[in-house]
Structure 1
Amino acid sequence: MGRMKLAVLTALAAVMLGGCSPLDESDLSRLALPVAGSDRSIHMWYLWLGTWIAVLVVFLLVFGMILYAPIRYRRKNVDDPAPVQVRYNLPLEALYTIAPVIIVAVFFFHTVESQNAQLEEVENPDHTIEVVGSKWQWTFNYLEGAPGGEPVYDQGDTANLPELWLPVNESVKFELISPDVIHSFWVPEFYFKMDVVPGNIPGKDGNNSFTMTPNREGTFTGRCAELCGVYHTRMLFKVKVVSADEYEAHLAELESAGQIGTPQGSTTADTVAGLEASGESDTED
């Protein structure tokens, strides 16, 4: 009977959440996630959906037992004896221990599967962008270069947010580096983030890189998701996913503006809007 109830609860939870989608306009139907913007987002979505189903099953089961006990064993008369108390029941206590372990193990298994799918390498990606996270700004080096053949870059600060331009439906490899402390590159619409670890060179000292394909045009807000100092909350950037022609035109604009090369964290990396002296923020970090 217990197995039947669990099966019914699982089916009920699946039916309730089965109509959800990462592309739905309703926040409720997306289970509070932003609208997906990457080909890799689907893996995290299934993990998120499965977690909600498991949580709902546990909630319905526990809440059902909480309601069942006082209704089933309520006293009809003041002289009625109290129900028999269960103490030192080894099978029941074993269940209390084993069930959570099984739940955590299942979560762990699917988390690793999702992580492996997110980090799956792509041979010969269409574009390679070097992401430099430094206190407290971002620099994006487009390594494939502009029409002239030289790498170009986008850069900004806390007052003028930098922009990361990406071509829709074309694969992009992100190589992450930091000249100072640990940052974290996060675009919520991509359902993925990765730490930017100083001294960790992509392809040499570890896998500080990942590949994905943006599949929805639009303007998103990226941010640092690792507490990196006093002005961590202001370490933001804009992501513009555009057509291939607009992307190429932007690279040409950067070349015309003289933004050629691959900055690795400029001398203004410690300058924050509102502070006059560069390096003053170092004393506050």
Structure 2
Amino acid sequence: MPDPVTTQGQHIFLLWRWAWVAALATGGVVWGLIFYAAFRFRRRSDDEVPVQTRYNLPLEIFYTIAPIIMVVVFFVHTERTQNAIRANIPDPPVTVYVVGQQWTWTFNYMPGGEIHTPGNQVLYSVGEAGNPPTLVLPVGETVEFKLHSPDVIHDFGVPGFLEKEDVIPGPAIDDNHFQVKPIVTGTFKGKCYELCGVYHSRMLFNVKIVTEAEFQAYLQQLQAQGNVAAQPLLGGSQSQTQAGLGSGSEGGSE
């Protein structure tokens, strides 16, 4: 299991770890009973037949109640973890509109919140198949990802986040979304987790978690490069199109 790099990932890691502890403990009890029964009630001679028991009511009750209790415990902890990682805050400081398409990613940095994009414009970074883009995020700030696809279902995931989300085709600007709060700086890998076509394996991207000052400097760099748009780039026949907003005119500076 990768080390979690977000607050939400820490909750997922704890659920994963203790689920394995419970599973191994249960497996140890079951294996112990199997070996005990195989040894204790083994046939000791050709003439001796072990005692044959048709049923044992206390054991039958135990075998029924114990799994139900285990399922309830797993459900409660899973529900608690899900509520923790889905406890989205309104108006997060950073919003990134993620577009997954065959076979690359576009990251639109949206204006608003405590961290504003320069000029309150949409700033974007576009990758190409074989040339992964980089998603830059500020440490210690809640980031909301809005996910969109102009073609088929993709899946946006970062192993360090310990979670992923489907990228569903559709015209709505608020498709699937989730929030994370990075807690460490560094460079991490991301990829598409849904088989989406012949070049699925090339749908990669990098994630850089940096300080707030470095994040602001990166946004200014995007603006200086001309990666500016009035609305998010929603993909299409080319990476830099707004297919979801009209006829799919090229360029992001419109």
Partner in structure 1 of residue 235 of structure 2: 265
Distance in 2, Cα, partners of 1:100 & 1:202: 43
Matches within 5 A, 1:4-153: 33-75=1-43, 78=45, 81-144=48-111, 146-153=117-124
The alignment covers a number of residue pairs equal to 233
Runs of 4+ in 1 over 6 A off after TM superposition: none
Work out whether residues 150 and 236 of structure 2, in 8 Å CA contact, stay in contact via their aligned partners in 1: no
Q: Which amino acid aligns with 1:192?
A: E
Separation of aligned partners in 1, 2:135 and 2:48: 71
- For structure 1, list consecutive stretches of 5 or more residues without a partner in the other structure: 1-32, 270-285
Question: Shift in Å at residue 126 of structure 1?
Answer: 1.2
Offset of residue 179 of structure 1: 1.2
Residues 53-62 or 109-118, more deviating: 109-118
CA distance in 2, matches of 1:226, 1:114: 24
For the residue of structure 1 that corresponds to 2:227, the secondary structure is: coil
Q: By how many angstroms is 1:79 displaced?
A: 5.7
Letter in 2 for 1:92: L
The residue number in structure 1 matching 2:154 is 183
Letter matched to residue 126 of structure 1: P
| In structure 2, distance between residues paired with 1:266 and 1:159 | 18
**CA deviation profile, 1:178-200 (whole Å, cap 9, x unmatched):** 11111111111111111111127
Instruction: Mark the CA change 1:55 to 1:232 in structure 2 (over 3 Å): closer, same or farther.
Output: same
User: Which digits, 9 at most, give the CA deviation of each residue in 1:58-103, with x for residues without a partner?
Assistant: 1110111122123323455x36623212224454345434433432
Contact conserved, 1:165 with 1:239, CA < 8 A, in 2? yes
Percent sequence identity is 47
CA contact (8 A) 2:43 2:50 kept: no
Question: Is the CA contact 1:172–1:213 (under 8 Å) kept in the aligned structure 2?
Answer: yes
Q: Is the alpha carbon distance of 1:67 and 1:115 closer, same or farther for their aligned partners in structure 2, counting shifts above 3 Å?
A: same
TM-score by length of 1: 0.75
The one of 114, 124, 129 equivalent to 1:158 is 129
Which residue of 1 is the match for residue 202 of structure 2? 234
Q: Deviation string for 1:232-283 (max 9, x for gaps)?
A: 22211100001111111111111111111221114325xxxxxxxxxxxxxx
Aligned-residue RMSD, C-alpha: 2.1
Deviations 1:132-151, CA, capped at 9 Å, x for gaps: 11111110000125323321
CA contact (8 A) 1:202 1:209 kept: no
Asked if 1:197 is matched to 2:168, the reply is yes
Further displaced range: 36-45 or 95-104: 95-104
Cα distance between partner residues in 2 of 1:85 and 1:202: 67
Please tell me whether the aligned partners of residues 131 and 177 of structure 1 are also in contact (alpha carbons under 8 angstroms): yes
Question: TM-score, normalized by length of structure 2?
Answer: 0.84
Quick one: which amino acid aligns to residue 108 of structure 1?
A: F
Structure 1 residues 112 and 200: alpha-carbon distance in aligned structure 2, compared to 1, 3 A threshold = farther
Give the stretch that moved more between structures: 97-106 or 168-177: 97-106
One-letter amino acid matched to 2:237: T
Structure 2: 5+ residue stretches without partners: 240-254
Q: Secondary structure at the match of 1:165?
A: strand
The answer on whether the counterparts of 1:219 and 1:241 sit within 8 Å (CA) in structure 2 is yes
1:169 corresponds to which of 140, 144, 157: 140
Write the distance in 2 (CA, Å) between the matches of 1:258 and 1:198: 27
Shift of 1:216: 0.8
Q: Which structure: greater strand fraction? A: 2
Aligned 8 A contact 1:222 1:238 in 2:
yes
Q: Which secondary structure state, in structure 2, belongs to the residue aligned with residue 221 of structure 1?
A: strand
- Deviation of residue 162 (structure 1)? 0.7
Distance 1:74 1:267 in 2: 70
